[in-house]
Amino acid sequence: MNLTVALLQLKPTGSVEGNLEKGIAACTEAKAMGSDIALFPEMWSCGYDLAADREAIARQAIAPSGPFVSAFARLARELDMAIAITYLEADASRWYNTLSLFDRHGKETLRYRKVHTCDFDRERYLGAGDDFFVVDLDTDAGPVKVGSMICYDREFAESARILMLKGAEVILVPNACPMEVNRLCQLRCRAFENMVGIATANYCEGTPDCNGHSSAFDGVAYHSDGSYREMCILEARAEEGIVLAHFDLALMRAYRLSEVHGNAYRRPRCYGILVSDEVNEPFIRRDRVER
């Protein structure tokens, strides 16, 4: 019982219209390859080429009900395949780094706004999401509990932890940065400590500040006999292309029933400091945006 996630390791075209056309073609190819879910890299509508000032960002941002996002809702229904499309979202006078997950019937089952925005860069102009969500996604492999975090979210253990606590079996991670060994290790850790699958789609080499290496980890660290197992089920190369991650749901679910990670032995009463807003040296940053 496999869940197949297509990681669309693409290069943006330089326009919303071009990205729409290329995205539709990529999803169509992903379906032909046998995918249950197609996952785009971060902020596909603009190729994460975020403008340098508020006025320009406002011109880049698109409405969730607009033609770009709606096209992928229709496409999901036509292809009978879930699509996780990413975009710079316009909502009144605010903008968000957003993922919408459409199920294979074209219904939006999840809209996630990036919680940990990169306030040290141009994302300081964006609003931040205020929660993480998990949904039951209808697939050919049966219902699967799916959540999302976006790029920089991965660097905070709390992101994946909350998704695990809400029941996530697979976490979709759109990305737009160099996926070198240390960032890949972060994803490995998030999968290991929460016993969840993590699928990450990055932009290919040739996109500024990106290098491909989309990846998938299934969170199963040990064989049934206790011997160690490689959790990395996929690491793409640098070039543009569509790569498939096959998650063995039966294996993952059996493992989660018996292993020691996740939530079985946590001591939440000892973790109070984790929800403190206090920031002390050496972590004080003048460009921090209060949310």
Measure the CA–CA gap between 257 and 255, rounded to whole angstroms. Answer: 5
CATH of the domain at 38: 3.60.110.10
Cα(101)–Cα(108) distance, rounded to whole angstroms? 6
Q: What angle do CA 274, 279, 284 make, to 5 degrees?
A: 140
In a domain, 184, yes or no: yes
Distance CA 3, CA 16 (A): 30
Residue recorded with tokens 């997950």:
101
CA distances from 121 to 146, 189, 287 (A): 29, 26, 9
Mean pLDDT of 4-21: 98
Residue 286, in any domain of the structure: no
Amino acid sitting at position 10: L
| pLDDT tens, residue by residue, 22-59 | 999 999 999 999 999 999 999 999 999 999 899 999 99
The answer to the question of residue 289 being in a domain is no
Please report, in angstroms and rounded to a whole number, the separation of the first and last CA atoms in the chain: 42
Q: Look up the domain containing 231 and give its range.
A: 2-275
Decide if 255 is inside a domain: yes
**213 pLDDT above the threshold of 90:** yes
Q: What is the DSSP string of 136-188?
A: EE--TT--EEEEE--GGGGGSHHHHHHHHHTT-SEEEEE--S---HHHHHHHH
> How would residue 97 be classed by pLDDT, with cut points 50, 70 and 90?
very high
Task: Please check whether residue 284 lies inside any domain of the structure.
Answer: no
- Residue 88: count of CB within 10 angstroms of its CB: 26
User: Does 291 map to a domain?
Assistant: no
For residue 283, tell me if it sits in a domain.
no
Residue 290 belongs to a domain: no
The domain tally of the chain equals: 1
Please tell me the predicted confidence (pLDDT) of residue 103: 98
Q: Within 10 Å of residue 262's Cβ, how many Cβ atoms?
A: 17
**Rounded to whole angstroms, how far apart are CA atoms 73 and 121?**
31
